[in-house]
Structure 1
Amino acid sequence: MHQDDSVDVVIVTALEKERDAVLRYLNSPQRVETKNRVVYKSYLKHENSESGYQVGVLCLGGMGNVLASSAVTQAINDWNPAVIILTGIAGGVQGSERVLGDLIVAEQIVGYELGKLTDVGTESRFEALRSTHLLIKKARNFPDQKWAYDQRIISRPDGTSRPIPKVHFGVVVFGEKVIADTITIPELQHAWTQLIGVEMESFGTALAVYQSDSVPAMIMVKGICDWADLNKSYEWQEYAAATSAAY
C-alpha cells in the first residue's frame, strides 16, 4: 500500500475463508502484495449508475484484537477510507429467534476480560465502543432481501431448505480467547441483556477507527457459525462466512 492510494471502503476479515467469501462478490479483484500482507482491490459500481467506489479487502491472517488494531490502523493511514466493515464469522448467543447462519450486527462492542483481582474474586471492568450510528441506521433500513437468494451462498450444512437469514442487532462482546464452555455466555448475559454474539476482532477494529485522525465510519457484520459452547464445531463456518459476505 502507498500513501497515494485511495480506497473508499475497507472490508476486514480475520481468516482466509472469510476473505475468499468476500472476493466472490467483487469484480476482478486485483491482488496487491505489500511487505506486510496481501490485500485485494476492486471497483464496484452503484446499481443503475456509472459511479461507484473503490474497495479494499484486508485479511488479518489470524484472530485477535491486537492484530486487528495494528492492521486497521495501517490501512486507515495508507488508504484513508470513508468506511471500515468487519465481516466473517462469530459465535452467537442462543435466542428464540436466532439460528445458525443468521447475521449479527454490533451496535455496541464490549470487552469482558479486563478486571481487578480481589480477595472475593474478579471484579469485571468492561470496555465499550460503538459502531457508527449512520451505518447501523442504514443496516436496519436495508431495502430488500435479494442478497439472501444469491447463488453464491452455499447450501446449509444441515441439509434443510434455506430460510432467509435474519439480521440481529445488539451487543457483541470481545475477548482474546475462544469461548467453548457453558459458563461464560450466561455470566455475560447477566451483565449485558442485549448480548447477541462474541468474537475477537471487533474492538481492535473499532479502537483503530476511534483513535485515527480521519475517524472513518465503522460497522461489524458477521454470520453465526456456532453458539460459543461445548458443541463448538467448524461445520457452519463456510455458510456463515458466505451469508455475511452476501449481506
Structure 2
Amino acid sequence: MNPKADVLLVTATKVESKAVIEIFQDATVQVPQRVPIGDRIYHSIGSINGAKIFMVQSEMGSGGPGASLQTVEKGIHALSPSIIIMVGIAFGMDSEKQSIGEILVSQQLMLYELQRIGTKDESPKIILRGDKAHASPRLLSYFRSADFDWDESKCKVNFGLILSGEKLVDNIDFRQQLCDLCPEAIGGEMEGSGLYVACLDKKVDWILVKSICDWADGNKSENKNNQQKLAAGNVASFVLHVLQQIPFTGKEQAWEGVSSQESLKTSADKIFNIQKSEKTKDAAKAIDIKFAKFSAPKYQQLAEMFKNESKSTLKSNYVPVNPLYSQNDIDFLFKYDISKFDYNLSSEINQFFEDLSEAENARIYIQNNCKNPNPQIQTLCTIEYQNMKSYLRSSICKVADIRSQLKKIYTT
C-alpha cells in the first residue's frame, strides 16, 4: 500500500528542492527518505505539527511531460494528500516596491496564456481570457494567521494575484505587457496553472507560495545563484513556519480556549521508526545525524534565555539544562562496526528518538511563545519547559542503555 501524505510540497527546480529538504531536515531532525511510487520518486521529509510531509519535484512549466499538471495529478493518486502547496521562486513586478527574497502568496492565480488577440485603432489589442482562480480559502486563512507572528526582518510576505504561464519571462517589455493586462499582479511564475487544474479536478485544497528571485527584466543571469538560493530559502522557511503554527491534518478544530492553544503547539513527531527490513548501516547513519542535531547548546541557550528574562513572572521556574551529550557520546558510534547492529535494540533506539523529538518540539514551542504576554500561554511554556527537561533526562538514560548493549554485542 502507498503511504499517505497530509501535505504534499511541489517544487520545480533543484534549488527549490534542496532548500525545502535542508530547512525541513533541521526542523524534523529526520533524514529524508526516497519513496518510489509508480514512475515518480517522492521524498518523505518528516512530520510537522502532526502532519506527514512529502515533497515531489516536477519539470518546469505546467503542461509538458513531467510538468506540474501531470506531477500533481500523479501525486494526488499516489499519496492522497489533503493539502498541496507549490513552493518555489518567481519573478517580481516592481523592483521599487518589492525586494529580492520577498514572499508571494497566491490569493488568486491568473492563467495568462489564454488570450484574445485582436485589433483596436489599427493596433494589436490583447485581452486575457484565462481563469482567475482563488486559492483554498482555508489555506489562505491559515497562511494569513501564521503571518501574524512571522519575523518580517527576514523578508516581507505579500498576498495577492500571481500570474502563471508557460513562458520563462526575462524581457522587461513582455513583463510590462503582463503588468498592463493585469496591473494588480504581484509576481509571475510557470507551474501554478498545472497545480490549480489538477487540484480543482480532484477537489484538493491548494495554494501557491513563491519568493521573488528576479525582475524578469533581461538581467535574470546577474547574481542568479545567490538570489535564487535566498528566495528558495525564504519561502521554504515561511512554509515551515506556517506548518508549525497550524494543524495541517485536514481536520477542523473548534476553539476551546487554553486546550485549543495547546493543540496548536508542535505535536510530538515520530522521528525515526526502525523496521526489520531496513539496512543496518542506514539506521546507524540516521542515529549519528540525530546525535549531532540534538546538541546541548540548543537547550542550554534556551534555558539561559529564560533565566535572564526580566519581564517573565515565571522566571524562577526556569533553570539551566544540563549538557545533553559529551563529545564521546556523539562520537561513540564511529568506534563500532555498524554491520553488527542487533535489531533487538530497535525498541530502545525508537524510544530514544521519540524522547528527543518530544524535547525538541517542546523547545520549539517555548521559543516561539516565550514572549507572549498571555498568562495562559506562559503557563503552557512553563509546562513544556518541565516536559523538555524530563524528555532529555529520559534520552540520556536511553543512550546509556544503548551504549551498554552495543558493547555487549562486540564482546560476545
Matching residue of 1:187: 177
Matching residue of 2:34: 31
1:1-247 matches, within 5 Å, as 4-24=2-22, 25-26=24-25, 27-46=30-49, 52-60=50-58, 62-66=59-63, 67-94=67-94, 96-118=96-118, 121=124, 123-124=126-127, 125-142=129-146, 143-145=148-150, 163-212=153-202, 215-233=203-221, 234-235=224-225, 236-247=227-238
Q: Which moved more, 1:6-15 or 1:27-36?
A: 27-36
Deviations 1:205-244 (A, max 9, x none): 01100011xx221111111100111121224011111111
CA RMSD of aligned residues (A): 1.9
Query: TM-score of the superposition, structure 2-length normalised?
Result: 0.51
Post-superposition offset of 1:13: 0.0
Post-superposition offset of 1:115: 2.2
Post-superposition offset of 1:35: 4.5
Matching residue of 2:321: none
**CA 1:45–1:99 in structure 2 vs 1: closer, same or farther (change >3 Å)?**
closer
Query: TM-score of the superposition, structure 1-length normalised?
Result: 0.83
Which of structures 1 and 2 has the larger relative contact order (alpha carbons within 8 angstroms, sep 6+)?
A: 1
Q: Which moved more, 1:75-84 or 1:119-128?
A: 119-128
Deviations 1:44-72 (A, max 9, x none): 142xxxxx111110011x21112101110
The count of residues paired between Structure 1 and Structure 2 equals 222
CA distance in 2, matches of 1:209, 1:97: 32
Post-superposition offset of 1:34: 3.8
Give SS of 2:169's match.
coil
CA distance in 2, matches of 1:185, 1:116: 18
Structure with a larger share of its residues in helix: 2
- Counterpart code for 2:72: V
- Counterpart code for 2:51: Y
CA distance in 2, matches of 1:75, 1:93: 31
Post-superposition offset of 1:177: 1.2
CA distance in 1, matches of 2:34, 2:45: 9
Give SS of 2:168's match.
coil
CA distance in 1, matches of 2:179, 2:71: 30
Unaligned runs of 5+ in 2: 239-412
CA distance in 2, matches of 1:220, 1:177: 18
What fraction of aligned residue pairs are identical, expressed as a percent? Answer: 30
- Counterpart code for 1:77: H
CA distance in 2, matches of 1:196, 1:128: 14
Is the 1:115–1:122 Cα contact (8 Å) retained in structure 2? no
Post-superposition offset of 1:202: 0.6
Give SS of 2:172's match.
coil
Is the 1:93–1:196 Cα contact (8 Å) retained in structure 2? yes
Is the 1:129–1:207 Cα contact (8 Å) retained in structure 2? no
Q: Which moved more, 1:228-237 or 1:137-146?
A: 137-146
Structure with the greater alpha carbon radius of gyration: 2
Deviations 1:16-47 (A, max 9, x none): 2211111111322111234423210133142x
CA distance in 1, matches of 2:135, 2:7: 15
Give SS of 2:31's match.
coil
Deviations 1:104-133 (A, max 9, x none): 011111111222344553543232212111
Is the 2:37–2:78 Cα contact (8 Å) retained in structure 1? no
Is the 2:95–2:215 Cα contact (8 Å) retained in structure 1? no
